[in-house]
Amino acid sequence: MADTRKTETPTGNFDAMAAEFMSILAKNQETLKKMMVSPQEALTSMLDPFNAMGSFAEGARQLAGNPEKIVKANLDLWQQHLDLWEHATKKMLGAETEPVAEPERGDRRFKSSEWEDNPVFDVIRQSYLITSRWLTKTMADIDNLSEEDARKVDFHTKQIADALSPSNFMLTNPDVIKETVESGGKNLIRGLDNLKRDLEAGDGQLKIMMTDPAAYEVGKNIATAPGKVVYQNDIMQLLQYQPTTDTVYQRPLLIFPPWINKFYILDLQPENSFVRWAVDQGYTVFVVSWANPDSELAGKTMTDYLKEGILEALDAVEKATGEREVTTIGYCIGGTLTGAALAYMAANGDDRIKANTFFAAQMDFSEAGDLKVFIDEKQLESLDSKMAELGYLDGNSMYSAFNLLRANDLIWSFYVNNYLLGKDPLQFDLLYWNSDTTRMPRELHMFYLREMYLKNNLAKPDGIELGGVPIDLGKVKTPIYLQAAKEDHIAPYESVFKAVNLFGGPVRFMLAGSGHIAGVINAPAANKYNYWMNEEQPKDIEAWIAGATSHPGSWWTDWDRWLAGYSGEQVPARIPGEGGLPALEDAPGSYVLMKS
């Protein structure tokens, strides 16, 4: 939404601006009260919410025991700053000189030309880059730390370094200074108003608005692929989409998205909708839309999601189409459940799924990336206690944790835009979806975090049981297409690849460009990114990468060629609601409209 509020040229009337600040504060006393907690509550929440103090204490102890390393690190830092002052002096004298430190590719914090052209801001920028990199490298190089302590020290040091960027402060950000001067401080007034808005949206907790919420309406201009809800129960609705071809593959395609987000990441806009594209290729597409659980679903377990989600969806697809055999897709945590379901079905002689695709889904969590920094027994006990009263984890908590994984892009850039520059966010379908949070049932969420992330039991034969059945991925003989993304920070490709050696059937691993979302949602028409394929499919990730060939554009076409071979003959297209199940309501259904 464009910022249509008028800005005024500076008048020098700072008394008026101060009076406006006080007026806004006075009008927002109730919002501010929600932020206030008792001293005891504040102390409890601030002491060590991520259970990281012990890791930092151990890091400090190890550093103190190696004074030579500390001296060398400080000498390196001193030398780099001396080089910076030499660079600054030459630049002020008009001499050509190369910068000592440059932002990494894709770092948008310093995109303004002032950061380089203005000598003062050039020094500020480079001094920060030198110091922050020195800090993160020094902490990352500490010897004799456990894997868990090293992960926490590294992650939280980066969070501190990102927070202290000069771009995040009014007096050291040239864009903010310029806007403040030109608007007479109106940007700060608007920023305070935006802060109030975001605090109210989070009921006293800060929920930064990333995109204009009025720009999108689910079912109107987002999640608009035509279809019907043909089945529902307590935890899901099943959507069947309208065909666009006269004939379709015999075997329907059933998709299990993550319940940690809304399903319409697969159906954002017509031009980037995976659902629409798959329908256009001649697949009869069904998608599960998970419920946004409340207290009534607090006791739902992984077994419930297996039986009421996956198995009931399979039964419903058969009733709707008359076809017993299907192909499936599991995305992220939905893929983890699908993997466990394949093992459950194999143990019970259920062979309905003839081919399965995983989008960014992990089975082995031993190298599960930065999310593991939030998962140890102490943090899980605290999380369980937090969920105990309502029976679920509120959507904002999970939303905030995921945003921390990419703090510069998903926190600090919006902090600067919304509060320092006083601007409204742009329209962006992906960020609207990202902000449309979901809750997590207590029993299901704790089982997933403990058994998968903490204990890595899914990767162990018979490591977990679902519905009384030991789960052994090695018994799964179903052909699998395993997608991962090179820059995925939630399901790192090295972690996803481990499934190659867990399943007992053929696995075709493919590595896409970009990350957890753009690495999946990449329509061929966009002609973006690339993907890598190694037709030899070695079982070692390094050998796979070494022998892989890069292909331009979307991997969807490679997947389509693969899946077509498992999808059967062509049959007349099926119309939702005209088969064995009646249409209950139009897609995208009502469950997806439930707000957290």
Give catalytic residue positions: 332
Largest Cα separation within the chain, whole Å, is 81
Give buried/exposed letters for 472-482 (b at 16+ CB in 10 A, else e).
bbebbebbbbb
**Could you write out the DSSP letters of every residue in 232-274?**
E-SSEEEEEEPP-SSEEESS-EEEE--TTS-GGGGSSSGGG-H
**Could you write out the DSSP letters of every residue in 516-580?**
TTTTT---GGG--SEEEE-TT--SSHHHHHHT-EEEES-SHHHHHHHHHTTS-SEEEPPPTTSSS
Q: CA 487 to CA 479: how far, in whole Å?
A: 26
Q: CA 561 to CA 581: how far, in whole Å?
A: 30
Pairing between strand 549-552 and 530-533?
A: antiparallel
Are 439 and 395 in contact by the 8 Å Cβ rule? The answer is yes
Looking at residue 496, its amino acid is V
- Return the closest-CA partner of residue 149 out of 452, 449, 376: 376
Q: What are phi and psi of 143, to 5 degrees?
A: -85, 155
The DSSP letter of residue 306 is I
Q: CA 311 to CA 302: how far, in whole Å?
A: 12
Q: In the numeric block, which tokens belong to residue 377?
A: 């027994």
Are 413 and 406 in contact by the 8 Å Cβ rule? The answer is no
436 three-class SS: coil
First to last CA, the chain: 23
